[in-house]
Amino acid sequence: MFAFTETKPSGTAEPEAVFISWLLWQPRGADLAAEALKEVQKLARYKGADPHIARLRALFASLAGADGPVH
């Protein structure tokens, strides 16, 4: 049996936890850089909205190989 140790609601996960979960759910052989770039583009609409979103976007941009801001 599994025990849940997270006490926060699921919508309040830290950016690093979301990023790791996303990585673990990628299919074997996936182009992680290309998939990360898709996530960066999805998160772009939340520009300046929340520091957690900005951090998550930066994590994906880093994986995508972005040297600077990704548009």
pLDDT at 21: 96
Q: Please tell me the total count of domains within the chain.
A: 1
Q: Which domain holds residue 37?
A: 14-20+31-64
48 domain residue, yes or no: yes
Please identify which residue in the block is written with the tokens 């996960």: 13
In a domain, residue 25? The reply is no
Domain for residue 9, yes or no?
no
Decide if 44 contacts 57 (C-beta within 8 A): yes
Q: What is the pLDDT along the chain (71 residues), one digit of tens a residue?
A: 555 555 555 556 899 999 999 999 999 999 999 999 999 999 998 877 789 999 999 999 999 997 655 55
- Cα–Cα distance list, 40 to 8, 35, 51 (Å): 25, 9, 15
Residue 52 contacts residue 8 (beta carbons within 8 Å): no
Indicate yes or no: pTM above 0.85. no
Q: Is 58 contained in some domain? A: yes
